[in-house]
């Protein structure tokens, strides 16, 4: 049988391998590349802002014109530095969100019940050993 009757020549095979290889690399990049580290801020269940955690800074959170909270981002982490609420003036002991401190792992969150704020991180290098936390009700 002459080589002209082969289904694939060596150049054809090279082309096939190249195409398949390129597609596989693209799939691999899409599947396994980590997301950027970021913090998602929700007010009343709706996304208010997504902050990149590779930038340092202070950010104020408002609901309309009402000031609710200030957060700080630094070194891939986020914390609440001050929280107020609509009902009464904030004091140190009632700022659970501030007492939570820095969060830097996927699975951690900062909650302010009076302000209906939830802050959680995603795309972090580390994850908490748990999926969800049980706490007193």
Partner 1 sequence: MSKRTITISIFSFIVIAVVITIIILKQPPKYYTRYGIELGTDVKITYATDRGNAKKVVDDMFNKFDEYEKIFDPWLNGSELYNLNHSNGQWVKVSPELLAVLKNSIVLANLTDGEFDPTIGRLVPLWGFNTDNTHEWHLPSPQSIKNALIHVGYKNVEIKGNEVKLLNGVWLDLNGMMEGYIDQLLINIAKANDPNSTGYVDVGGTVGIIGPKDGSQPWIIGIQNPRGGPNDAIAYVKLYKGYVGTSGDYERYIVVDGKRYYHIFDPKTGYSNNYFESITTVSTISTLSDGFGVFAMVNGSSNINEWAKKLGISYLAIDENGKMIEGPGWTAYEYKP
Binding site for partner 1 (CB under 8 A): 7-8, 12, 15-16, 19-20, 23-24, 27, 31, 42, 44-45, 87-88, 91, 93-94, 96, 99-101, 103, 105, 107-111, 113-114, 116-118, 120, 128-137
The CA-atom distances, in angstroms, between 99 and each of 48, 95, 96 are 22, 6, 5
User: Distance between CA atoms of 43 and 124, rounded to whole angstroms?
Assistant: 22
Q: Check if the beta carbon of residue 121 is closer than 8 Å to that of residue 104.
A: yes
CB of residue 124 vs partner 1: minimum separation in angstroms?
A: 13
User: Distance between CA atoms of 4 and 21, rounded to whole angstroms?
Assistant: 26
User: Distance between CA atoms of 116 and 127, rounded to whole angstroms?
Assistant: 24
CB of residue 135 vs partner 1: minimum separation in angstroms?
A: 4
Q: Residue 36 or 99: which CB sits closer to partner 1?
A: 99
Query: Residue 113 contacts by C-beta under 8 Å, 6 or more apart in sequence?
Result: 96
CB of residue 6 vs partner 1: minimum separation in angstroms?
A: 10
CB of residue 117 vs partner 1: minimum separation in angstroms?
A: 8
Q: Residue 70 or 111: which CB sits closer to partner 1?
A: 111
Q: Residue 1 or 87: which CB sits closer to partner 1?
A: 87
């Amino acid at each position: 049988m002459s080589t002209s009757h082969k289904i694939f020549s060596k150049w054809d095979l090279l082309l096939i391998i190249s195409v398949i290889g390129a597609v596989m690399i693209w799939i691999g990049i899409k599947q396994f590349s980590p997301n950027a580290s970021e913090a998602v801020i929700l007010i009343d269940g709706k996304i208010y802002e997504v902050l990149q955690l590779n930038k340092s800074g202070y950010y104020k959170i408002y609901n309309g014109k009402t000031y609710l909270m200030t957060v700080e981002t630094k070194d891939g982490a986020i914390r609440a530095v001050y929280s107020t609420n609509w009902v009464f003036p904030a004091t140190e002991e009632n700022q659970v969100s501030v007492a939570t401190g820095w969060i830097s792992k996927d699975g951690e969150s900062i909650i302010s019940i009076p302000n209906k704020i939830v802050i959680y991180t995603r795309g972090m290098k580390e994850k908490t050993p748990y999926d969800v936390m049980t706490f007193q009700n």
